[in-house]
């Protein structure tokens, strides 16, 4: 009987592994639409196709799941020429303490994956900050991708408390021209 209990525990614990909807989004700019949908499904966000024209942005609600959650979340992906240029995961919480806790968790998880990047922070701050921004932290995922984690005061239309946004990194022109001989 004891061996069967251990086997059951082993099987159940392996089924719980993998990416969760709370993990940092790993989708990078430049990804094509089909691959973006597949990757977001792995993050537990499901696109609902209706057979109509391709929307832009695509909106991915959380996949169906059992049990209760503290908030709700969804992802919006914007494309140019069928390639990802912007990803936003919105999270809405009715309790501000939970929103702050979740933002801290997201910042901690992102910091484990990527070091702080002053140029990413500068890039985020030159963009129009999201409505209701209380705090923002930014990282570089690769040479062309910046991610920001925003703690928000819920503001219409999204009324989100936490936002994870992935942007195409566009260097700002310094006005200095480099001439090589």
* Assigned domain for 178 exists: no
**Higher model confidence: residue 134 or residue 115?**
134
pLDDT tier at 103, thresholds 50, 70, 90: very high
Model pTM score: 0.80
Helix, strand, or coil here: 72? strand
Lowest mean pLDDT among 13-17, 45-49, 73-77, 110-114: 13-17
Q: Provide the β-strand partners of residue 165.
A: 88, 148
63 inside domain: yes
Reported as a pLDDT band with limits 50, 70 and 90, residue 13 is very low
Rounded to the nearest integer, the mean pLDDT of the chain is: 82
- Starting at the earlier edge strand, list the strands of the sheet with 83-93: 58-61, 71-80, 83-93, 162-168, 145-152, 133-142
Domain assignment of residue 94, yes or no = yes
**Chain length of the chain:** 181
User: For residue 56, what are the domain limits?
Assistant: 18-168
pLDDT at 74: 94
Inside any domain, residue 181: no
Mean pLDDT on 87-102: 95
- pLDDT at residue 173, rounded to an integer: 52
DSSP summary character for residue 128: P
Q: How many domains is the chain built from? A: 1
Identify the pLDDT of residue 111: 93
As given in the structure block, the two tokens for residue 54 are 């391709």
Instruction: Tell me whether residue 13 is in a domain.
Output: no
Q: Identify the DSSP state of 19.
A: -
- With cut-offs at 50, 70 and 90, classify the pLDDT of residue 77: very high
Tell whether 143 is covered by a domain.
yes
In a domain, 78, yes or no: yes
In a domain, 4, yes or no: no
Non-local CB neighbours of 84 within 8 Å, separated by 6+ positions = 27, 28, 29, 30, 31, 32, 33, 36, 77, 78
Distances (CA, A) of 36 to 26, 56, 135, 140: 10, 13, 28, 19
């Amino acid at each position: 009987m004891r061996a069967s209990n251990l086997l059951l525990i082993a099987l159940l614990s392996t089924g719980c592994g993998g990416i969760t909807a709370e993990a940092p989004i790993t989708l990078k700019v430049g990804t094509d639409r089909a691959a973006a949908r597949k990757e977001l499904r792995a993050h537990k966000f499901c696109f609902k196709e209706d057979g109509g024209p391709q929307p832009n942005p695509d909106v991915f609600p959380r996949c169906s799941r059992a049990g209760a959650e503290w908030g709700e979340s969804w992802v919006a992906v914007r494309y140019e020429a069928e390639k990802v240029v912007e990803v936003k995961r919105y999270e809405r919480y009715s309790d501000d303490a939970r929103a702050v806790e979740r933002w801290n968790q997201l910042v901690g998880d992102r910091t484990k994956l990527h070091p702080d990047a002053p140029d990413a922070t500068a890039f985020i701050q030159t963009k129009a900050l999201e409505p209701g921004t209380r705090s923002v932290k930014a990282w570089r995922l690769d040479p062309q991708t910046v991610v920001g984690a925003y703690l928000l005061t819920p503001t219409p239309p999204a009324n989100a408390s936490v936002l994870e946004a992935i942007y195409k990194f566009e260097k700002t022109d310094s006005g200095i021209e480099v001439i090589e001989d």
